[in-house]
Amino acid sequence: MASSVLRRLYSKSPCCSMVSSFLNCSRSPTALLTALPPHCKFSQDSKDTTTTTTEDTAKLSLNLEGKTIQELLDDAVTEKSEGPKEKDLTEQKKRVRKDPRKSTVFLFPGQGAQFVGMARSLLDYPHVEDIFTRARDILGYDILQLCLNGPQEELNKTVHCQPAVFLTSLAAVERLREDNPLAMETCVAAAGFSVGEYAALVFSGAISFEEALYVVKERAAAMQRASEEVPSGMLSVLGRPQTRFPQLCHDARIYCKEVHNMEDPVCSIANYLYPQARVIGGNKECLAYIRKYGKEYGLVRMKPVPVSGAFHTSLMESAQDATHKALQEVDIEVPVINVHSNVDTASYQNPQQMRRLLTKQVTSPVKWEQLMHTLYERPQGRGFPDTFEVGPGSQLGAVLSRCNMKARQEYRKVSCGEEDDNTSSVQATAND
């Protein structure tokens, strides 16, 4: 089990006193909240947290306050979310209603948000240097220097940018913890765009920092390899209300079979961004068809996404297998706040479901538009929570403005560097 290996490896690290105390404590939601600052598994002090007082229990009850998320929209779900199988979630998390105007939601970005210089403004905050020092031991190279100094070409490689965005997002959590502790204490839900989901799960207490980074490392390397096996890519497109995206993908596949004699071409929707905005992934020949004939289907904009392969399509099946294997080797617990899946937009309920959906995510479309509806759909007159984009870039805020303008009015950005405000193009969210 990788978890045992990680325990042995990081118990000897000079900067892992916070890690070792976590690895020796109970993994229940109650223990998490008494062992850690709100939700996050990588920034606790070494101290005994095996007992709780009545006062601690009362505080725990307050920290676990949340609200019921509305039923999923019918068109947002690919399959029903698997319910708790080990223990009823209601027995693990006692939730009561909370005024949504006094709660927060955290959104974590994915690949495409990276830029040279990110994390520079975070280094003076507590625990941030520890995050990157421990990451260097796991990854085998100095990723902080890559984040700070580039070159951009190396940072953009899937094998580098996925862990880089993951780490910078968690470093941004430490900035928010210092600058706005109330936002941490009142967080009731989180979501991450593709690899950003792993940062959300670390923040929620579902998986440890080291083990999540181990999975991200294996996932990124496998996706890099899969990208090199077949010439493929992704295309960001904007259509009209009448645009039939599935028909466009179908016709592109037929064209490649007939014209290029391809046996099994791949062309499918990889990301749902906002109304009429999609990212299509597939073989290069399929994308060439879309660029040539897209206007005939009602497309008004087509732009290549600067990534190495067709992520979130069936061309990533080999990477899916590697991700599944890595997820079987780490410990996962029920998060102490709602964390929503990219696959079906529902909140995670148990470790078995989390492993299944995180594995499936590699070859399934990111349903971000539908996830935004799940998080923010509410009766008229009901307030919206404060939303924080925690990580490099501000792409998710740009997408939110196109999905729900009222929710966007309560949006905040946790800056990670001087160039953060220059990465707000929606296209960049079409990522890993």
The catalytically annotated residue of 127, 160, 312, 340 is 312
What's the gap between Cα 343 and its chain centre?
11
Please confirm, yes or no, whether 250 is among the known catalytic residues.
no
Those residues whose C-beta lies under 8 Å from the C-beta of residue 420, and which sit 6 or more positions away, are 115, 118, 392, 393, 394, 413
Question: Distance between CA 6 and CA 330 in Å, rounded?
Answer: 9
**Environment class of 273 (CB within 10 Å of its CB; exposed 0-12, middle 13-18, buried 19+):** buried
pTM of the predicted protein model: 0.79
What is the per-residue burial (b if ≥16 Cβ within 10 Å, else e) of 419-430? ebeebbebbbbb
Torsion of CA 119, 122, 128, 131, to 10 degrees: -10
Distance CA 69, CA 19 (A): 32
Q: Is the pLDDT of residue 408 over 60?
A: yes
Residues with Cβ within 8 Å of residue 180, at least 6 apart in sequence: none
pLDDT digits (tens, 9 = 90+) for 221-270: 999 999 999 999 999 999 999 999 999 999 999 999 999 999 999 999 99
Six-digit token string for 188: 């009731």
Catalytic residue among 169, 194, 208, 364: 194
Round the average pLDDT of the chain to a whole number and report it. 82
Q: What is the set of domains in the chain, with CATH numbers? A: 2-221+316-429 (3.40.366.10), 227-307 (3.30.70.250)
- Please check the confidence at residue 362 and state whether its pLDDT lies above 80: yes
Contact 211, 3 (CB under 8 A): yes
Percent above pLDDT 70 for the chain: 73
Rounded to an integer, the average pLDDT of 128-140 is: 98
pLDDT confidence of residue 432 = 54
Known active-site residue 194: yes
